[in-house]
Amino acid sequence: MNTFEKPQLSDRAWINDILKNQNILNCDAPFGTVFTWQEEYGTRICHYKDFYLIAYTYEKDWIYFDYPIGNGDVKDAINFMIDYAVSNGLKYTIVASGEEQANVLRQLLPH
């Protein structure tokens, strides 16, 4: 899946596989949360390489991304998210959970 789609029950296994080895602060990441709130927040997910990507589309012309969850090249995953937003004509924000993630975003996306 290289696009953002509504969470389906069939996504639970791969999401749990990625989450089980992660030390994250994001309370929005568990499958039950994204599945339950998908209509309220326009939650969309993407299985990109070894990453679990979460986006929220509740506001017109905007997409809000959580920091990528998983293993691999974070810069590649972030560029994928940015390309997705731009190719769909959306403004975007990437949200960090904690100072470590914020520092990575500052390094990769300097103003």
**Token pair 């924000």 is at which residue?**
93
Task: Give the separation between CA 34 and CA 28, rounded to whole angstroms.
Answer: 7
State whether residue 79 is helix, strand or coil. helix
Q: What is the pLDDT of residue 29?
A: 79
Contact 95, 67 (CB under 8 A): yes
Q: Averaged in consecutive runs of 10 residues, what is the pLDDT profile of the chain (111 residues)?
A: 90 92 74 90 95 93 94 95 96 89 87 63
User: CA–CA separation, 26 vs 24, rounded Å?
Assistant: 6
